[in-house]
Amino acid sequence: MNSALFSKFLALSLILTVGAVGCKKIPRAPTPIPGPTRTTGPGPGPAPSSGPIVGPGGTVPVDVDPRSIRPGNDLTGGTKLGGREELDNFLVDRETFKQQTVYFEFDRSTVQPADKGKVEAVAAYLKSNPTHKLLIEGHCDERGTPEYNRSLGERRALSVREYLIALGIAPERASTVSFGEDKPAVLSSDETAWTKNRRGEFVLLKPKT
Amino acid sequence: MNFLYLRTLTTLIAVLLAVSSAKVVSAEAKIEIDKDVDASKLIPISLSGFTGEAQVVLKFDLEVAGFTTVSAETAQFNITGSNNGQLEGRVTDRINKATLLSVRYTDANLRTQAHAFADEVVQKLTGKPGIARTKIAFKGERSNKSEIYVADYDGANAIAVTSDGAIVAAPCWTPGRRMLYYTSYKSGFPDIYSHDLASRERKVVAKHPGLNTSAAVSPDGKRVAMILSKDGNPEVYICDATGGNEKRLTNTRADESSPCWSPDGSTICVVSSKDGIPSLYLVSANGGEMRRLRTAGVPRATEPEWSPDGKWIIFTAMWREFAICKVPAQGGTAEVLTTGEDPSWAPNSRTVIFSRRVKGRRVLSLLDVQTKRVKDVTESSGSYSQPSWAK
C-alpha cells in the first residue's frame, strides 16, 4: 500500500519534472496576431543581387511566427495559391536546398522551431534571387491512409509556404505539391525511416533564359 | 422431375480497353480465414463434379458470398455439376432432396459461366443478387511504376488503363457507366482526370495549382466531389462531371480528405481534422455546416464510403495497424471488422474490397461484412491498393 502510494508519488513527480523541463524548451511565441487569412502577400523582395545562399542557421529577421497566427494546434493559413508553374519552363534544381529539408512531427504540419532557420535561409536566397521560384514538396510517412496523407502532405507544404510568406516572400513565388506517402526518402517501416519521410523539400525553379 | 433449361448468357462482359492486357493478378486466390469469422453465419454447401478453373472460380465466388464448403453429408445444400466445354450446375436441398436450381450455360468462356452460375446460386439461396460478374478498379504498382487497373472483382483479367509512368491514385467509378475518375501526376502535379473506358477518351477535370485529388462521382453521375488546395488549404469542392461550375463546400483551417456521397446524392461524408484529430463529418452537398459523424469506440477515422443501400458507412481507423470499421450512416457505435484500409462496397452492400499491407507490399482482399470472412484476391508480385468497386 505504502509502496504503491510512493510509486504514484514518484511517477507524478517525474511527470511534473519532465513537464517543467519540456516547457522550458518551447520558445515563447511573439504576440499572437488574430488571424484572418491573407489574400495578398507583402511587396516584392529587395533589389536583385547574387547573394550567397544562407546556411541552415541563416539570420533573417522574423517578425511573424506563423505558429502564432493559428488558433490551436495545427491549422494552415490559407493564402491562395498562384498559377501552376509549368516545370518545363524552369531548370529544376533539387540540390541547392538539399540541406534545408524540414521535418515534421507525426500527423503534424507545423514547421518545427529547430527547422525555422532552414526556411529562413530559403527565404533569404529567394530575396537575393528575385527571378527564381520555389516548389515545396510535402511528404508523409506510411502511417496514414493514402488520401489522408496526400492532404496532410499538401498541408505541410502549405505550412512551409505560409512561413515563407510571413518572411516576406511573395505568395506567387512559392507553389506546392504533395506526394503523400508515395515518395518516401527511406524505404523502411521503422521510426528512423518515418522520421526522415515526414518532410518538406525545397525545389528551386530557375527560369530558362 | 428436372427442370433442365437452357440459358443463354447475353454478353455480360463488356469489353474493356485493349490497350494493354497485362495480367497482373492471379485467379488462384489463396484462402484465408480470419480468426474473427462468425462461423455460425456461414452457409454449409458441398461442391462436386467441377474441375480446374471452373471449380476454383465457383468455390471462391461462393465463399466470398458467405458459404463454406463442407462434405456432401454435412452440407445444407449440395451443388453438383460438370464443366466439359460448357458448365452445368444443380443445387439440391440435402434434407428434402428438392432441386432448387438446374442450369446449363452455352455462351461465353468457362470462367464467366462459373461466375454466372455462382450469381444464380447466390440469388437462389440468399435472395440477393450476386457480385461475381462485377468489376473493380485499383492502383497497381510494379517495379516503382504505378498505373490504374481495371479487373474482375476477383482480380482476374486485370488491364492497365493508364500508361502515364507517373504516380496515380484514387480511382472512382461513375455509377452505372464504364468510366473512371482518378488522380495522375503525369504533369508533375496531382491532377484529376475522367477516363471513358469504352471510347478511351480522357479529359482533365481539375488541374488547379496545388492538390487536385480524391474524386468521388455523385450517384447520378452528374457531379464530382474532390479535394482541391488552390485557395490555400485542402478543402472539398463539388463540380460538374466535366469539371465546370465548381463550388467550394468546406471552409476549415485544417485539411479535408476522401469525400464520398450518400446514395441519394444529398450528403457528402468527408474526413476532417478541424477539431484536432481526423474524424468523419457530414455536410449537405448544397453546402452548410459540417456535422460530426459519431464513430463511438473508434477514433482517427478516414476513407469513408457509404453503402449502396444507405445504411452503413465503412471507413478506415488509423491506428498502429489500420482497421476496417463500419458505423450506421446516422452515426453511432463503430464496429471493427478486420485489419486493412481503403474499403469500397460491392453493389450488394455486403461485400467490401480493401487493401492490406503485407511485408512491404499491399494486396487486395475481399471482406464479407456479414460473416467477417476475408479472402485475398491478389497473389502475384507488385502492390495493389485504393480499390473502387464498380456500382
The interface predicted TM-score of the complex, written ipTM, equals 0.88
Using only C-alpha atoms, chain B has a radius of gyration, in whole angstroms, of 21
A43-47, A87-91, A189-193: least confident range: A43-47
Last residue of one domain, picked from the residues B101, B126, B151 = B126
Do B90 and B151 have their domain in common? Answer: no
pLDDT of residue A18: 40
Report the pLDDT averaged over residues A2-26. 43
Closest CA to B325 of B307, B311, B309, B343: B343
pLDDT of residue A75: 52
pLDDT of residue B334: 96
Tell me the residues of chain A between 68 and 97 that have a Cβ less than 8 Å away from chain B.
Answer: 70-84, 87
| SS3 (DSSP) at B335 | strand
Q: Where are the domains of chain A?
A: 54-207
Contact status, residue A107 vs residue A144, Cβ threshold 8 Å: yes
Cα–Cα distance measured from residue A149 to residue A143, given in angstroms and rounded to the nearest whole number? 8
Q: Is the dihedral of CA A145, A148, A153, A159 positive or negative?
A: negative
Last residue of one domain, picked from the residues B126, B145, B177 = B126
Do B203 and B60 have their domain in common? Answer: no
From its phi and psi, is residue B382 left (phi > 0), alpha (psi between -120 and 50) or beta?
left
Phi then psi dihedrals of residue B312, to 5 deg: -130, 155
pTM, whole model, 2 decimals?
A: 0.82
> B279 vs chain A: nearest CA distance in angstroms?
11
B53 lies within 8 A of chain A by CB: no
Give me the CATH code for the A54-207 domain, please: 3.30.1330.60
Query: Which residue range is the domain that position B344 belongs to?
Result: 135-389
Instruction: List pLDDT tens digits, range B136-156.
Output: 999 999 877 899 999 999 999
Interface test with B, best of A37, A104, A148 (most B CBs within 10 A): A148
Contact status, residue A121 vs residue A54, Cβ threshold 8 Å: yes
Do B117 and B212 have their domain in common? Answer: no
The length of chain A, given as a count of residues: 209
Burial class from Cβ neighbours inside 10 Å (0-12, 13-18, 19+) for residue A60 reads middle
Tell me the residues of chain A between 173 and 202 that have a Cβ less than 8 Å away from chain B.
Answer: 175-180, 182-183, 187, 189
Report the pLDDT averaged over residues A61-80. 47
Do B117 and B140 have their domain in common? Answer: no
The domain total for chain B is 2
pLDDT of residue A22 exceeding 70, the answer is no
Last residue of one domain, picked from the residues B107, B126, B145 = B126
| 3-state percent helix, strand, coil for chain B, nearest multiple of 5 | 10, 45, 45
pLDDT of residue B85: 85
| SS3 (DSSP) at A209 | coil
Which regions in chain B score pLDDT beneath 50?
1-33
Cα–Cα distance measured from residue A60 to residue A200, given in angstroms and rounded to the nearest whole number? 20
> Residues A100, A28, A53, CA angle at the centre, nearest 5°?
20
Domain annotation covers residue B193: yes
Contact status, residue B133 vs residue B116, Cβ threshold 8 Å: yes
